[in-house]
Structure 1
Amino acid sequence: MTQPVPWNDLQDFLAIARSGQLARAAAAMGVDATTIGRRLRRLEARLGRTLFEQTREGQVLTEAGEALLAQVERMARAADAIASDGATGTLTGVLRVSVSEGFGAFFVARHLPAFAQAHPGLTVDLVASSGFLSPSRREADVAVLLARPRSGPLVAAKLSDYALHLYAARDYLAAHPAPTRATLGTQHRLVGYIPDLLYAPELRYLDDIDARLVPHLRSSSIQAQARLIESGAGIGVLPHFIAGANPALVRVLPDIAIRRAFWLVTHRDTRRLARVRAFRAWLADLVARHRAELLG
Structure 2
Amino acid sequence: MPMTEAMSQKRFAEMGVRMAQPNWDDLRIFLAVARAESLTRAAKALRLDPATVGRRIARLEEALAAALFVKSPQGYVLTEPGQRLLEHAQTVEEAMRGALSPGLDASDRLSGTVRIGAPDGCATYLLPQVCAAIHAEHPGLEVQIVALPRVFNLSKREADMAIAVSRPAAGRLTVQRLADYKLHLTAAQSYLDRAAPIRGKADLKGHPVVGYIPDMIFDRELDYLAELGVTRPTIASNSVAVQLSFVREGAGLGIVHDFTLPFAPGVVRVLPEQISLARSFYLIRHADDRRVARLNRFADALAARFRAEVTRLEAA
Specify the TM-score bucket, using the shorter chain as the normaliser.
Answer: 0.7 to 0.9
* Counterpart in the other structure of 2:9: none
Identity of aligned residues (%): 37
Instruction: Decide whether aligned partners of structure 1 residues 227 and 245 sit closer, same or farther in structure 2, where only a CA change above 3 A counts.
Output: closer
* Counterpart in the other structure of 1:40: 57
Instruction: Decide whether aligned partners of structure 1 residues 15 and 202 sit closer, same or farther in structure 2, where only a CA change above 3 A counts.
Output: same
Aligned amino acid, residue 94 of structure 2? R
Deviation digits for residues 70-90 of structure 1, max 9, x if unmatched? 443333222222233476466
Distance 2:141 2:39 in 1: 25
Aligned amino acid, residue 233 of structure 1? A
* Counterpart in the other structure of 1:201: 220
Instruction: Decide whether aligned partners of structure 1 residues 178 and 117 sit closer, same or farther in structure 2, where only a CA change above 3 A counts.
Output: same
Structure whose CA Rg is larger: 2
Is 2:277 aligned against 1:251? no
* Counterpart in the other structure of 2:196: 177
* Counterpart in the other structure of 1:114: 133
Please say which of residues 247-256 and 171-180 is displaced more in the overlay: 171-180
TM-score of the superposed pair, with normalisation by structure 2: 0.81
Deviation digits for residues 23-44 of structure 1, max 9, x if unmatched? 4433432345454334323332
Aligned amino acid, residue 149 of structure 1? P
Structure 2 portions without partners, runs of 5+: 1-18
Instruction: Decide whether aligned partners of structure 1 residues 278 and 25 sit closer, same or farther in structure 2, where only a CA change above 3 A counts.
Output: farther
Is 2:29 aligned against 1:12? yes
Number of aligned residue pairs: give it: 293
Instruction: Decide whether aligned partners of structure 1 residues 118 and 49 sit closer, same or farther in structure 2, where only a CA change above 3 A counts.
Output: farther
* Counterpart in the other structure of 1:63: 80
Aligned amino acid, residue 241 of structure 1? F
Please say which of residues 214-223 and 60-69 is displaced more in the overlay: 60-69
> As a proportion of its length, which structure holds more helix?
2
Instruction: Give the alignment partner of residue 239 of structure 1, picking from 252, 257, 276.
Output: 257
Distance 2:118 2:40 in 1: 22
Aligned amino acid, residue 202 of structure 2? A
Please say which of residues 84-93 and 100-109 is displaced more in the overlay: 84-93
Tell me, yes or no, if the aligned pair for 2:130 and 2:306 is still in contact at 8 Å.
Answer: no
Tell me, yes or no, if the aligned pair for 1:84 and 1:274 is still in contact at 8 Å.
Answer: no
Deviation digits for residues 87-118 of structure 1, max 9, x if unmatched? 64665554332211110111112332333444
TM-score of the superposed pair, with normalisation by structure 1: 0.86
Aligned amino acid, residue 238 of structure 2? S
Instruction: Give the alignment partner of residue 267 of structure 1, picking from 277, 286, 292.
Output: 286
* Counterpart in the other structure of 2:177: 158
Deviation digits for residues 3-52 of structure 1, max 9, x if unmatched? 63543322222223344444443343234545433432333234433222
Superposition CA RMSD, Å: 2.7
Please say which of residues 156-165 and 36-45 is displaced more in the overlay: 36-45
Is 2:303 aligned against 1:284? yes
Structure 1 portions without partners, runs of 5+: none
